[in-house]
Amino acid sequence: MGIVNVTPDSFSDGGAHASTETALRHCEQLLKEGADILDIGGESTRPGSPAVPLEAELARVVPVVREAVKLNAPISIDTYKPEVMRAVLDLGADIVNDIWALRQPGAREAVAAHPSCGICLMHMHRDPQTMQAMPMSGDVVPEVLSFLREQAQLLYDLGVDAARITLDPGVGFGKTVAQNFALLARQRELLAAGHPLLLGWSRKSSIGAVTGIEMAGERIVPSVAAAVLAADRGAAVVRVHDVRDTVAALAVWRAMKAQEKSQLQPQGQAPTP
């Protein structure tokens, strides 16, 4: 999943793709580099970021989505506002990726009314303005798992097919550095919820904390390492800024996994497709 920030204030690339023209060029470039999904967002959710008014978010996102749906790739929209969800789904967007896990009034109903859109539910402690000022305490893994299960159940209750749902534990959203890495180390425990996992480690501050790399844009190598580790622990989707580098690293990982699988085949038996 390649990240397309249509914002002037994203933590790592704010302003670089803020116009419709530059955002679309970035979409095309990410697809050339091997992105499977484009994730378009019109509001920064970095710690301490202010909320963006509805009309401003619509003005940023709608023109980009209107053109991006012509690229013949799945389009995800990073938003928590039901009005934005409905607008982009009407334009042909495929996925709603919500940091609030559809907890804003009307959000569940907006996606439930759509017959087939994908839904990503993310765990966030508190809100973007306060989440890192007072992060979670204790063992985050069972708490995150319980929350995600509860939010998925609320969608089941509205008649949403379980196959439409993906879960994101919310790395960096109200967790300490140690808690974020606990989510990575024990990521397989989250598979117990029964849904695919989406992981977003790209250029996060926790990576900066353990590497000493202060500039977000310089955290490419450790971000790629985190994406590969997440994939190895069962992530179905990795959300990244640096698509080309991540795709190349995942190709190496897949080649290694294929060899591991072939070694497990009984001698004389053809490998399973």
For 16-71, the pLDDT digits (tens) are 666 899 999 999 999 999 999 999 999 988 777 788 999 999 999 999 999 999 99
- For 156-208, the DSSP string reads HHTT--GGGEEEE--TTSS--HHHHHHHHHTGGGGGGGSS-BEE--TT-HHHH
- Location of structure tokens 């249509």: 6
**pTM value?**
0.92
Using alpha carbons, select from 129, 119, 36, 116 the residue that is nearest to residue 78: 119
Q: Lowest mean pLDDT: which of 1-15, 19-33, 58-72, 83-97?
A: 1-15
Q: How far is CA 246 from the centre of its chain?
A: 14
Q: Lowest mean pLDDT: which of 49-53, 75-79, 85-89, 228-232?
A: 49-53
Q: Is position 273 within any domain?
A: no
Q: Is position 77 within any domain?
A: yes
- pLDDT value of position 169: 98
Distance in angstroms (rounded) separating the CA atoms of residues 269 and 84 = 53
Distances (CA, A) of 203 to 99, 169, 225: 17, 16, 11
Q: Lowest mean pLDDT: which of 51-60, 122-131, 171-180, 185-194?
A: 122-131
Which pairing describes strands 95-98 and 75-78: parallel, antiparallel, or unpaired? parallel
- pLDDT value of position 10: 53
Q: Is position 231 within any domain?
A: yes
Q: Is position 258 within any domain?
A: no
Distance in angstroms (rounded) separating the CA atoms of residues 262 and 243 = 28
Which pairing describes strands 38-41 and 2-5: parallel, antiparallel, or unpaired? parallel
Mean pLDDT along residues 4-25: 76
- Residue 82: which CATH number? 3.20.20.20
Residue 41 phi, psi (nearest 5) = -135, 140
Q: Is position 257 within any domain?
A: no
Provide the domain limits for residue 202: 2-252
**Residue 29 burial by Cβ neighbours in a 10 Å radius (0-12, 13-18, 19+):** middle
Q: Is position 235 within any domain?
A: yes
Which residues are marked as active site?
204, 239
**Residue 79 burial by Cβ neighbours in a 10 Å radius (0-12, 13-18, 19+):** buried
Tally the domains of the chain.
Answer: 1
- pLDDT value of position 273: 58
What does the mean pLDDT of the chain come to?
A: 93
